[in-house]
Amino acid sequence: TDRAKKTGGTVHEPIATATVIGAGIMGQGIAAANLKRGVAVRLSDAQPEALAAGVASVVREASYNKKTKAADLELALHNAALIAGTNDSTQLAAADVVIEAVIEAADVKRSLFAQLEPLLRPDALLASNTSTIPITTLAHGLERPELFCGLHFFNPVRKMPLVEVIRGKQTSEATVERMAAYARQLGKTPVVVNDGPGFLVNRLLLPYMNEAALLASEGVPFKLIDKAAKGFGMPMGPLELHDVVGLDTCVHAGRVMQAAFSDRVTGAPILERLLAAGRKGQKNGAGFYDYP
Ligand code: NAD
């Protein structure tokens, strides 16, 4: 059709409507990436305040004008009409693709899928933005696991070109191709990877981050750790990166990696301590560092 785009020899209808579940750091970034490419978005979140703040922030980001360094009013009105914040399952299910970006907990993700999948169109794609949880285990209980895969964006979504398309055991080749085409439609660079805890990027990244948290647990000053890593060439230090990711997410993802790779990854006590003190990272103003 006219709307179809050629990708890798196969013709795929571009995605016109996307649903993003979870309006946190990643859900907002993913929703904004869709709006920027004219894809209509429905955004949802279990917490009404998070949903309202999320919709506003997505519209702001998608309407940002680099030249004037402010939101373009006309674009903002256009974008505000393209996005709806809702927790109505029927509305959320009426999309070409549904991307889940809620907390890193398998049971929460699975119960969401169980609720939404029966309402989806028969050919709708379903994806999880999980950092670490194997796609094949998240697919347990799905009626159409062939239409499900991992679609792993990186933080901050507006800056990071990479998207991992994760092929679960039951994901069909057609789904992998449609998802990769969708990632390209959003201006991203998809890499198709096989399933497994942490997939590819987080197999590399999380042990490195965890090792930094272990050093911090041993009493090495935070700033020294970050300074050394930056001096070595990293764009930001590993403890700063913990704060950007969110310490709660780091702990959840860390547990998946510790269970899978107990020979290599051990939990860093400082993370649990900081979290117990209410420090979740940049998202609530305090993590390893303070963000007043
Ligand atoms: P976040 O804490 O910023 O946001 C999660 C949101 O999900 C919260 O607003 C919460 O209210 C909402 N939520 C929780 N349970 C819900 C439910 N049942 N239904 C609807 N909403 C619900 O987390 P985040 O950093 O955006 O992470 C989301 C997912 O993306 C996780 O799986 C995480 O591992 C993954 N991820 C995170 C990063 C990162 O750097 N933060 C990068 C890549 C992937």
List pLDDT tens digits, range 54-67: 999 999 999 999 89
Collect the ranges in the chain with pLDDT lower than 70. Answer: 1-11
Residue 287, classed as helix, strand or coil, is coil
Which amino acid is residue 86, in one-letter code?
Answer: T
Question: Residue 191: which residues within 8 A CB-CB, separation 6 or more?
Answer: 162, 163, 164, 165, 200
Tell me how far apart the alpha carbons of residues 142 and 216 are, in angstroms, rounded to a whole number: 41
Ligand 1 — pocket residues by CB below 6 A? 21-27, 44-47, 50, 101-104, 108, 112, 129-131, 154-155, 245-246, 249, 253, 283
Q: Which of 12, 78, 152, 242 is catalytic?
A: 152
pLDDT digits (tens, 9 = 90+) for 86-128: 999 999 999 999 999 999 999 999 999 999 999 999 999 999 9
Looking at the DSSP bridge assignments, the partners of residue 17 are 40
* Helix/strand/coil percent split, the chain, to 5: 45, 20, 35
Cα of 49 vs centre of ligand 1, distance in Å, is 15
Q: How many CB atoms lie within 10 A of CB 179?
A: 28
pTM for the full model?
A: 0.96
The residue whose CB lies within 8 Å of the most ligand 1 atoms, and thus the one to mutate among 20, 21, 26, 45, is 26
Q: How far is the CA of 278 from the centre of ligand 1 (A)?
A: 17
What pLDDT shows up at residue 2? 44
| Atom number in ligand 1 closest to CA 100 | 29
> Phi and psi (nearest 5°) for 158?
-65, -25
The fold of the 202-284 domain, in CATH, is N-(1-d-carboxylethyl)-l-norvaline Dehydrogenase; domain 2 (1.10.1040)
* Residue 282 contacts residue 241 (beta carbons within 8 Å): no
Residue to mutate (ligand 1; options 103, 203, 242; most atoms within 8 A of CB): 103
Asked if 15 and 182 touch (Cβ cutoff 8 Å), the reply is: yes
Tell me, yes or no, if 140 is annotated catalytic: no
Q: Which atom of ligand 1 is nearest to the CA of 104?
A: 32
Q: Is 281 left (phi over 0), alpha (psi -120 to 50) or beta?
A: left
For the chain, domain boundaries: 5-194, 202-284
Q: What is the pLDDT of residue 11?
A: 67
CATH numeric code, 5-194: 3.40.50.720
Whether ipTM > 0.95 holds is yes
